[in-house]
């Protein structure tokens, strides 16, 4: 029974690996029409990789629940969880950023010959995620609150970008395929992970409104954003999470 939570953690890792396979097999195409106007087409495979990251996030949540259910928490499980997370929410999203950068450059003149040096900043993201996890593992004070954005939240934020582009939510496809926007995302998300900003953990010690007001507000924003913004809802919820955490930083979780 004590190994069941570890099996969940390893399943998280497996879906992270599957996500990487999908992300790296994009087969994107560049279509030129009407006076050399170029449209980038985001293939379906990369979105399947994003779905696998989402599944890994669900499993990541469940392994902690299962560990508490079977009273099987352990130091090994803690380390294994971080190793799985760095793959599913660090390396896999890093590959997404790499591919989005590659597609953004491919739409430019001679973009297919771009130096890999322009794409390497994508790997700042998994490096920052690994640093974030290592710091978390040696800091016992982050049980009900975080210092810096948790890597699953950052990974899911990046994984939402291909969906926004694929379904062209609010005509944002040109923004997603803008290299300067992608560089800004890489730097901002990496900084948020390695920062020491006080951010709330989404765990409930009880369900009273007084003790969980920011979490209930966040839940309400998530529901409304999903209805209004559809695939673009995740960045809205992510921003709300950071803002609410800072606004209620003095409230105990």
What are the pLDDT digits (tens) for 181-191? 999 999 999 99
Question: Phi and psi at residue 30, in whole multiples of 5°?
Answer: -115, 125
- Per-residue confidence (pLDDT) for residue 197, from 0 to 100: 94
- Per-residue confidence (pLDDT) for residue 201, from 0 to 100: 86
Write down the number of H helices and E strands in the chain. 10, 4
Sketch out the chain's domains with CATH numbers. Answer: 4-196 (1.20.120), 202-253 (no CATH)
Q: Check whether 30 has a pLDDT greater than 60.
A: no
Range with the lowest mean pLDDT among 83-97, 114-128, 138-152? 138-152
3-state secondary structure of 40: strand
187 burial (CB, 10 Å; 0-12 / 13-18 / 19+) is middle
State the average pLDDT over residues 42-61.
89
């Amino acid at each position: 029974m004590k190994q069941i939570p570890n099996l969940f953690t390893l399943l998280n890792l497996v879906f992270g690996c599957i996500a990487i396979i999908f992300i790296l097999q994009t087969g994107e195409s560049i279509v030129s029409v009407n006076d050399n106007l170029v449209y980038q087409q985001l293939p379906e495979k990369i979105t399947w990789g994003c779905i696998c990251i989402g599944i890994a996030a669900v499993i990541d949540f469940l392994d902690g629940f299962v560990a508490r259910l079977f009273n099987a928490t352990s130091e090994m499980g803690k380390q294994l969880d971080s190793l799985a997370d760095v793959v599913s929410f660090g390396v896999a999203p890093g590959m997404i950023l790499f591919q989005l950068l590659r597609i953004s450059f491919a739409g430019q003149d001679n973009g297919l010959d771009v130096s890999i040096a322009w794409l390497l900043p994508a790997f700042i993201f998994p490096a920052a995620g690994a640093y974030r996890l290592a710091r978390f593992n040696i800091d016992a004070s982050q049980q009900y609150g975080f210092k810096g954005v948790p890597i699953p939240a950052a990974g899911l934020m990046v994984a939402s970008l291909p969906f926004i582009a694929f379904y062209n939510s609010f005509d944002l496809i040109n923004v997603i395929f803008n290299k300067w926007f992608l560089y800004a995302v890489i730097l901002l998300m990496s900084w948020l992970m390695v920062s020491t900003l006080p951010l709330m953990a989404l765990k409930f010690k009880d369900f009273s409104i007084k003790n969980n007001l920011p979490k209930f507000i966040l839940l309400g924003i998530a529901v409304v954003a999903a209805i209004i913004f559809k695939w673009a809802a995740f960045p809205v919820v992510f921003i709300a999470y950071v803002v609410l955490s800072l606004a209620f930083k003095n409230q105990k979780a």
